[in-house]
Structure 1
Amino acid sequence: MTAKTAATTSTGRLARLLALVPYVVNRDSVALEEAAEAFGITQKQLIDDLNLLWCVELRAPDPYCPIDLSYEGGEITVTEAESIARPLRLKVDEASALLVALRMLAGIPDLQDRDALSRVIAKLESAAGAAAQAAGKVAVEVDARGDTLRRLREAIGDGRRVHLSYYVPARDENTERDVDPMRLLVVEGNTYLEGWCRRAEAVRLFRLDRITALRRLDVPAQVPAEAEPRDVDAGLFRPSPGDTPVTLELTPQGRWVADYYPCDEVTELGEGRLRITLRTPDTRWIRGLALRLGDQGRVVAPADLADDIRADAARALKLYF
C-alpha cells in the first residue's frame, strides 16, 4: 500500500468513526448488519471500527472516560459518548453540493412526495447560510432546466412538435432539429426527452442540459407507428459491432475522461495514470478530445488515428509560428 493510499484510507476511516457514534446513539441500538449496510462496509470492517472505539478516551465528563459500547448478540449500543454524540456538521462545500443535488432532484418528472423534498430544501437553506448562497449561483441554470422541463411536459400533453437547438459534445457543435416528443425519462441521474427526430428520421434521446433553446411549433406531433421507445434499463450506451475501439493513456489530470465517457476497459497504470478503451462510430470527436487533453493524455491505438492526431497537432502548432 502506498503512503497516499494509506492516508486516504485513514482519513476515510476517521470520518466513518466520527459518524458512527452519533448514528448509533440517536437510535439507542442498531443491528450490526444494518449499520454495515448504512456505511457501505462489511460487518468485519464494522467490528474492527468498534474495537478501535474502545480505545478512545474522552475528556468529559470525567478526566478519562472511555466510550462504553457493546455489540453482543448482533446489536450495537454506545454510551458515555456525549462529547461526540452529535452528528457532524456539513462543511460549506458539502452543504452547497447537497443543495444543488436536491434542487436537481426536485426537477425529476413525476417525483413522489415533492412537498417533503421542498421542506428539506427549505430547512437546509435556512441552516446552511453561506452554503445556500454558494449553491444559489447554480440555481439559475437549474431553474432554466426546470423551465425547459415544464415546456416539454406541456408539448407532450398537447401533442405538439418542438424545435430544439441541441449541443452535441461529440462534435462540439449546436444542431437544429424538429422533434416529435414521446416521453420524458431519467437515466443515470440525467433527464432526457425521447422523441422522433425529423432530422435523423429515428428515435433519439436529448439530454435536457444540452438543449440550448426550445420553441414549441404550431404543428401536431406525428410519431411514426414503427417508432419504439428505447430500452434504457441497461444504460444509454449501445455499442455497435462496427464501432472503432480506441485506447487512450491518461495522466492523473486526464482521468476525468474515464468518468465522462462510457469505457469498455479501465486499467490502472500506477501513479494515478489510466489506460482506457472505448468504442465510437465516429473518430472525429476523439481527435478533438486528444487535442484538448494536450499532455494530459494520448491515443495509443489504433495507430493510424494516433498518426492523424499528431498531424493535427503539428498543423495547429504551425499557426503559432
Structure 2
Amino acid sequence: MSRSRQQVVRMLALVPYLQGNDGIPVNEVAAEFGVSPKVIRDDLRLLMYTGTGEYAGELIDFDLTALERDGIVHIRDAEFMDRPLRISAREGVALIVALRTLRASASGLELTVIDSALAKLESAVGDTASPAVDVLVDEVDPAIHGTIVEALTGRKRLALTYATVSRDEQTDRDVDPRRLFTEQGKLYLEAWCLKAEDLRFFRLDRIVSAEVLAIDAEEHDAAQRDLSDGIFTVGEQTPFVVVDLHPRAHWLTEYYQVDLVSQGDDGVWRAKIYGADWSWLRRLVLRNAGSVSVIEPAALREQVVDDARLALKAYDDHVVYEES
C-alpha cells in the first residue's frame, strides 16, 4: 500500500478513535497506530481542513495549545461525522464520475465495493443525472491487470516485460508497484523501476507480461509525480522530425510524443514527432509510408526516400512476370 493510501486509511480510523479517547497523549496514539508522534501531529493538522463545509461546526477541530504544550489530543466539532451526509445533485454526479473512473482501474473485491457505492449514488441522484455520463478507458489484458492488482494488494515486487514505443523495443525489468491510475483514457502503473533506479510510469496496454515475485516490494523515498515527469521526456537534444500527417496517420498524435503545429483544411496535419534516436524515427516514417511525409530535416527525408527505393527495387527483383 502506498504512503498516501496508508495515510487515508489511518486518518479515517483516527477520528472515531479520538472521539472515544478524548484527552489521550499523542505518544499513545502514535503507538496505537504504529507511527511516530510527528506523523500523528501532521495527520491532525490535515484533519483540521476536513469536514462537510468551511465554517465552524462543519470542520474537525483540535485543541492545538494542549497538543503543542502538553502533548494531549482533544478533538472538537466532529459530531457531524455521525450525521447522514447530504449532497446536492451536482455533487452526486461528480462522485459518480469519480467512482466510474476509479472502477476502470479496479478489479476483484474492489469492483464489488465500488459497484455497491455506485448503485446507491445513482439511486439517490435519480433522473437528475441526465444525460448519462460514461468514462471510457482503453481495454487492457485482464490477466495483466489482475496480476498488477494482486501485487499492489499483497505489496509484492513485479517482473514486467514492457514495450518501449519511443525506442521500438521490449525490455525486462523488476519494479516495486505504487499505484494504478488513469490519464486521458489510458491506464497506468506508477512503480519504482529497479533497472532505472527511479520512478517510472508504465502504460498497461504496453505491458507484454507481468509476474508477481515472491519478494516484498520496498518503500522508496520518492515523491509522487505527474505523468508529465514520465518515461519519455523531451529536451533540447531530443531528436524530432517535422512531418505532414494525412488523415490515416492522425492516430500518431495520440500514441506518440507529438507537438501539433497546424491543421490544414485538406485534413493534413503538420506535427513534430519526437523519438529516442534517428533510426527509430526513420522506421516510424517508413512503416507509415503514404500517410506520413517528411518535411525536415532534409537528411532524414533523403534517407527515407533512399530506403523506400531500395525496398521497391528488392521487391521488383523478386517479381516473376508472366507473358500474356
> Normalising to structure 1: TM-score of the pair?
0.53
**Alignment partner, residue 194 of structure 1:** 190
**Alignment partner, residue 214 of structure 2:** 218
Matches within 5 A, 1:198-209: 198-209=194-205
Say if 1:169 and 1:118 are closer, same or farther in 2 by CA, change over 3 A. farther
CA distance, structure 1, for counterparts of residue 119 and residue 290 of structure 2: 45
CA distance, structure 2, for counterparts of residue 299 and residue 249 of structure 1: 7
Aligned with 2:245 (options 246, 250, 272)? 250
Matches within 5 A, 1:282-297: 282-297=277-292
CA distance, structure 1, for counterparts of residue 220 and residue 239 of structure 2: 31
List per-residue Cα deviations over 1:7-59 (Å, max 9, x = no partner).
xxxxxxxxxxxxxxxxxxxxxxxxxxxxxxxxxxxxxxxxxxxxxxxxxxxxx
Q: Which one-letter code corresponds to 1:264 in the other structure?
A: D
CA distance, structure 2, for counterparts of residue 104 and residue 146 of structure 1: 17
Q: Which of structures 1 and 2 has the bigger CA Rg?
A: 2
Say if 1:293 and 1:117 are closer, same or farther in 2 by CA, change over 3 A. farther
| Unpaired stretches in structure 2, ≥5 consecutive residues | 1-98, 121-137, 318-324
**Alignment partner, residue 146 of structure 1:** 142
| Unpaired stretches in structure 1, ≥5 consecutive residues | 1-101, 120-140
State whether residues 183 and 193 of structure 1, in contact with CA within 8 Å, keep that contact through their aligned partners in structure 2. Answer: yes
List per-residue Cα deviations over 1:190-241 (Å, max 9, x = no partner).
111111222223221111111121111112223543x333223799874222
CA distance, structure 2, for counterparts of residue 236 and residue 180 of structure 1: 16
RMSD: 3.4
**Alignment partner, residue 231 of structure 1:** 226
Matches within 5 A, 1:1-321: 106-109=103-106, 113-115=114-116, 142=139, 145-225=141-221, 227-232=222-227, 238-320=233-315, 321=317
**Alignment partner, residue 96 of structure 1:** none
Q: Which one-letter code corresponds to 1:185 in the other structure?
A: F
CA distance, structure 2, for counterparts of residue 182 and residue 113 of structure 1: 20
Question: Percent of aligned positions with the same letter in both sequences?
Answer: 36
Corresponding residue pairs, total: 199
CA distance, structure 1, for counterparts of residue 230 and residue 193 of structure 2: 20
State whether residues 267 and 274 of structure 1, in contact with CA within 8 Å, keep that contact through their aligned partners in structure 2. Answer: yes
> Normalising to structure 2: TM-score of the pair?
0.52
Say if 1:165 and 1:302 are closer, same or farther in 2 by CA, change over 3 A. same
- CA shift, 1:113, in A, is 4.3
- CA shift, 1:291, in A, is 0.7
